[in-house]
């Protein structure tokens, strides 16, 4: 788990490393893209495999449907999510969708929305979601389920969709065999201009 922060305010980027492989193509691509962020933008990098969550217990329609404030890794991820202005899923395409760690993290959002005092849905509104992904097929349509999952999640919570950086890769390092990958990564965060108001 790697954290890099500054205290100048403005945009705060949370990079969620969701791959089952360390230092894989998606992570390498994201770290390359992040180099183009302005120096005043905070960066926090969390590897979901280092913060394992329990299986999500769906009791929304039982009794009060209330969830307790999370403890342990759940609390770390909840508070990091709320502190961020920008959430970047660094997630290769696994069986046409997001990796299991990313899906479980999203499942827990259902509980966070129902934890007293969190006000999760309202505090997520206005944040920006991004995706950095790798697929091992030349047909980018195979990434549609992953991008649909993230895009519709952002829409449901009234978040902005920052965009997706999608490239080809299979074995580690493949992503930069294509010079266009570096160019695309350099420009991915080019739309960053004005600070987003804090919502935490």
Q: How many other C-beta atoms lie within 10 A of the C-beta of residue 114?
A: 17
- Are 108 and 53 spatial neighbours (Cβ–Cβ below 8 Å)? yes
Q: How many other C-beta atoms lie within 10 A of the C-beta of residue 150?
A: 24
Maximal C-alpha separation, the chain: 56
**Domain at 2-187: CATH code:** 3.40.50.360
pLDDT over threshold 70, residue 4: no
Lowest mean pLDDT among 11-15, 55-59, 97-101: 55-59
- The confidence score (pLDDT) of residue 6 equals 40
Q: 2 in helix, strand or coil?
A: strand
Residue range 98-118: mean pLDDT, rounded: 97
Residue range 195-200: mean pLDDT, rounded: 43
Residue range 154-170: mean pLDDT, rounded: 94
Strands 86-90 and 12-17: parallel
Q: Which of 89, 152, 156 is nearest to 120 (CA)?
A: 156
Report the predicted TM-score, pTM, of the whole model to 2 decimal places.
0.89
- The confidence score (pLDDT) of residue 9 equals 52
pLDDT digits (tens, 9 = 90+) for 170-190: 888 788 887 777 788 999 998
Sorted by where each begins, the domain ranges of the chain are 2-187
- Are 170 and 136 spatial neighbours (Cβ–Cβ below 8 Å)? yes
pLDDT over threshold 70, residue 104: yes
């Amino acid at each position: 788990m790697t954290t890099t922060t500054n205290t100048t305010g403005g945009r705060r980027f949370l990079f969620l490393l969701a791959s089952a492989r360390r230092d894989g193509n998606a992570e390498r691509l994201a770290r390359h893209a992040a180099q183009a962020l302005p120096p005043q933008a905070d960066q926090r990098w969390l590897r979901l495999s280092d913060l394992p969550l329990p299986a999500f217990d769906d009791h929304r329609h039982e009794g009060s449907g209330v969830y307790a404030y999370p403890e342990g890794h759940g609390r770390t991820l909840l508070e990091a999510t709320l502190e961020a202005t920008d959430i970047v899923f660094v997630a290769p395409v696994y069986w046409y969708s997001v990796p299991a760690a990313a899906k479980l993290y999203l499942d827990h959002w259902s509980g966070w929305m129902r934890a007293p005092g969190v006000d999760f849905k309202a505090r997520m509104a206005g944040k920006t979601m991004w995706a950095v992904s790798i697929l091992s097929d030349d047909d980018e349509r195979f990434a549609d389920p992953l991008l649909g999952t993230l895009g519709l999640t952002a829409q449901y919570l009234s978040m902005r969709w920052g965009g997706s950086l999608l490239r080809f890769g299979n074995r580690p390092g493949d992503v930069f065999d294509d010079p266009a990958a570096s160019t695309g990564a350099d420009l991915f965060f080019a739309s960053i201009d004005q600070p987003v108001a804090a919502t935490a």
